[in-house]
């Protein structure tokens, strides 16, 4: 389905069309076979690991919203302050009639700042393509946005963006700009982050760009407090990974026999979250027995923090170039504008 700026549809036609677009995408069930296999393989490793995407069921998403409001968790505030302060320049970087593709659109709060700035400047809109794994939220947010911004065609895609995915057909010649706020790039290990950026680079093409939120390296105490808050919200968020396995994967973890740990690993430049077993215990996951010794941990998340050297290296590996870095007053965070670097396959495309 292609919706161009010139196609004059009524709002209800447009809402029907994007609901249809969501319906047409095969959206994975909560626990598909792939995730189940990933969980079992992770729990069989010498250092037990669980994939961080486990956090985000409805309970985890609500806990994450509370994290974003915590005093200790500066990340969301810092990024929002940059997006607000530089919305005009960022909107200009997106440019007229560009397709804005948001990876992990969530509640759609941040894209509104860009759309508002574009409206204020009179920049003609292109298509907005929100990608999210949560079908319910995607449909709700897409319909809200279509009503709030009737000139913006919305083409939602229900998919797990950590895996390869297909972007819907867009009008020929339209510039594509990926939007990936929230510093979720930090939840990928660097080689995964580079592979993700390469997929995005492929999706946006040789004239494309990317706007990405990146958390910066800083004092270890600030970082550890951000991931181990006084109110225990992050601890509950972490434990929800096991609670979810109990709810959805026929597991029997004793949630009272784990505690939350967040630790800064300076050499690897990441905050690690673990669940520490406080006792010798056995749990059963989908019929498989998992034994834990006292003090043994399940590593549930990494949150990488970047300095300029590390970030430029990652961006190069991902097939982009850093064009601009905006930061906040406290220099805690960056919103980066990346431009596609030339690649050999582009040359090939040009020659053809």
Residues interacting with ligand AVI, by CB under 6 A?
Answer: 67, 75, 182-184, 186-187, 227, 234, 237, 301, 303
Cβ distance to ligand AVI smaller for residue 106 or 208: 106
Name the nearest CA neighbour of 56 among 180, 309, 222, 240. 240
- How far is it, in rounded angstroms, from Cα 138 to Cα 143? 8
- How far is it, in rounded angstroms, from Cα 275 to Cα 260? 5
Q: Tell me the closest approach of the beta carbon of residue 131 to ligand AVI, in angstroms.
A: 15
Q: Tell me the closest approach of the beta carbon of residue 208 to ligand AVI, in angstroms.
A: 23
- How far is it, in rounded angstroms, from Cα 60 to Cα 21? 26
Contacts of 256 (CB under 8 A, 6+ apart): none
Q: Which helix (H) or strand (E) holds 90?
A: helix 87-94
Cβ distance to ligand AVI smaller for residue 80 or 117: 80
Give the single-character DSSP code of 47. Answer: S
Cβ distance to ligand AVI smaller for residue 279 or 331: 331
In this structure, how many other beta carbons lie within 10 angstroms of the beta carbon of residue 43? Answer: 21
Cβ distance to ligand AVI smaller for residue 106 or 153: 106
Q: Tell me the closest approach of the beta carbon of residue 56 to ligand AVI, in angstroms.
A: 9
Cβ distance to ligand AVI smaller for residue 62 or 120: 62
Q: Tell me the closest approach of the beta carbon of residue 149 to ligand AVI, in angstroms.
A: 25
- How far is it, in rounded angstroms, from Cα 317 to Cα 197? 8
Q: Tell me the closest approach of the beta carbon of residue 24 to ligand AVI, in angstroms.
A: 28
In this structure, how many other beta carbons lie within 10 angstroms of the beta carbon of residue 195? Answer: 16
- How far is it, in rounded angstroms, from Cα 5 to Cα 171? 9
Q: Tell me the closest approach of the beta carbon of residue 223 to ligand AVI, in angstroms.
A: 10
Count Cα atoms within 13 angstroms, Cβ side, for 216: 19
- How far is it, in rounded angstroms, from Cα 330 to Cα 74? 10
Q: Tell me the closest approach of the beta carbon of residue 273 to ligand AVI, in angstroms.
A: 6
Q: Tell me the closest approach of the beta carbon of residue 231 to ligand AVI, in angstroms.
A: 13
Q: Residue 96 has which token pair?
A: 């007229």
Cβ distance to ligand AVI smaller for residue 182 or 208: 182
Cβ distance to ligand AVI smaller for residue 146 or 235: 235
Cβ distance to ligand AVI smaller for residue 134 or 234: 234
For residues 248, 250, 256, 258, the Cα torsion angle rounded to the nearest 10 degrees is -80
- How far is it, in rounded angstroms, from Cα 275 to Cα 317? 32
Q: Tell me the closest approach of the beta carbon of residue 235 to ligand AVI, in angstroms.
A: 10
Task: Give me the residue whose beta carbon is nearest to ligand AVI.
Answer: 303
Cβ distance to ligand AVI smaller for residue 106 or 126: 106
End-to-end CA distance of the chain: 27
Q: Tell me the closest approach of the beta carbon of residue 117 to ligand AVI, in angstroms.
A: 23
Cβ distance to ligand AVI smaller for residue 245 or 340: 245
Burial 56-90 (b: 16+ CB within 10 A, else e): bbeebbebbeebbebebbbbbbbbbbbbeebbeeb
């Amino acid at each position: 389905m292609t919706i161009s700026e010139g196609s004059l549809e009524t709002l209800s036609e447009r809402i029907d069309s994007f609901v249809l677009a969501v319906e047409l995408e095969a959206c994975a069930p909560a626990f598909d076979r792939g995730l189940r296999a990933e969980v079992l393989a992770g729990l069989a490793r010498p250092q037990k690991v669980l994939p961080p995407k486990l956090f985000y069921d409805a309970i985890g998403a609500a806990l994450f919203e509370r994290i974003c409001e915590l005093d200790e968790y500066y990340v969301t505030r810092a990024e929002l302050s940059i997006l607000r302060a530089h919305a005009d320049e960022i909107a200009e970087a997106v440019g007229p009639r560009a397709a804005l593709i948001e990876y992990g659109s969530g509640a759609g709060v941040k894209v509104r700042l860009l759309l508002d700035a574009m409206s204020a400047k009179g920049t003609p809109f292109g298509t907005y393509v929100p990608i999210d794994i949560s079908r319910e939220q995607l449909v709700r947010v897409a319909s809200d946005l279509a009503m709030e911004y009737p000139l913006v065609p919305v083409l939602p895609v229900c998919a797990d963006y950590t895996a390869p995915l297909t972007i819907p057909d867009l009008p020929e010649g339209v510039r594509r700009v990926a939007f990936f706020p929230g510093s979720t790039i930090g939840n990928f290990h660097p080689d995964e982050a580079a592979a993700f950026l390469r997929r995005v680079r492929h999706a946006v093409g040789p004239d494309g760009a990317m706007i990405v939120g990146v958390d910066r390296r800083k004092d270890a105490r600030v970082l550890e407090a951000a991931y181990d808050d006084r109110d225990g919200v992050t601890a509950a968020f972490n434990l929800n990974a096991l609670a979810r396995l109990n709810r959805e994967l026929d597991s029997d973890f004793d949630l009272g026999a784990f505690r939350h740990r967040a630790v800064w690993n300076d050499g690897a430049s990441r905050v690690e979250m673990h669940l520490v077993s406080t006792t010798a215990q056995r749990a059963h996951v989908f019929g498989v027995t998992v034994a834990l010794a006292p003090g043994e941990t399940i590593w549930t998340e990494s949150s990488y923090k970047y300095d300029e050297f590390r970030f430029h290296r990652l961006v190069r590996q991902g097939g982009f170039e850093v064009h601009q870095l905006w930061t906040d007053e406290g220099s805690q965070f960056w919103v980066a504008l990346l431009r596609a670097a030339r690649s050999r396959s582009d040359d090939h495309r040009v020659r053809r």
